[in-house]
C-alpha cells in the first residue's frame, strides 16, 4: 500500500527526521529516546567529539569534593585548594589534551 519514491532529497529529509527523532537526548515518557541516543553516542565515539572540559571556566563550576574526585579519577593527588586542583588537572591534560568527566560522557552510560 506504499509508494515508490525516487526523490533523493525527499528520502534524505525523511531519513534525517527518523535519526533526529531517535537521537534526541530527551528522556521522556512520550518518546523514551534517551537510551537510543546513548547507544548512538557510544557507537559513533561521541566522547571524542565533545569539547575539552579541562578549562578554568568549566572547572570553576565544580565543588571542592567534585574537583577532588576528578583528580583522583585521573590519578592525581588532592591539593589544598580548589584553585590548585583545577590548575593541576588542566596541567595534567595539557594544552592540546582532551578531558571529559565521566558523568558528561557517553562511554560510561
pLDDT tens for 49-103 read 889 999 999 999 999 999 999 999 999 999 999 999 999 999 999 988 899 998 8
Q: Are residues 100 and 79 in the same domain?
A: yes
Range of the domain at 24: 8-49
pLDDT of residue 16: 87
Q: Does the residue 25 lie in any domain?
A: yes
Q: Identify the H or E element spanning 35.
A: helix 34-43
Q: Are residues 64 and 83 in the same domain?
A: yes
Residue 28 has pLDDT above 90, yes or no: no
What is the number of domains present in the chain? 2
pLDDT band for position 26 (50/70/90)? low
The answer on 60 and 36 residing in a single domain is no
Q: State pLDDT tens for residues 32-48.
A: 566 777 787 888 888 88
Q: Is residue 73 domain-resident?
A: yes
Q: Comparing C-alpha atoms, which of 108, 80, 77, 104 is closest to residue 91? A: 77
Output the pTM of the full model: 0.64
Task: Measure the CA–CA gap between 87 and 62, rounded to whole angstroms.
Answer: 13
Amino acid at each position: 500500500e506504499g509508494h515508490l519514491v525516487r526523490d533523493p532529497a525527499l528520502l534524505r529529509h525523511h531519513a534525517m527526521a527518523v535519526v533526529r527523532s531517535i537521537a534526541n537526548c530527551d528522556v521522556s515518557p512520550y518518546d523514551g529516546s534517551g537510551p537510543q541516543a546513548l547507544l548512538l553516542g557510544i557507537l559513533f565515539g561521541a566522547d571524542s567529539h565533545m569539547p575539552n572540559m579541562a578549562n578554568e571556566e568549566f572547572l570553576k563550576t565544580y565543588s571542592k569534593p567534585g574537583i577532588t574526585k576528578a583528580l583522583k579519577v585521573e590519578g592525581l593527588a588532592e591539593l589544598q585548594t580548589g584553585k590548585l586542583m583545577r590548575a593541576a588537572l588542566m596541567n595534567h591534560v595539557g594544552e592540546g589534551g582532551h578531558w571529559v568527566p565521566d558523568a558528561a560522557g557517553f562511554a560510561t552510560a
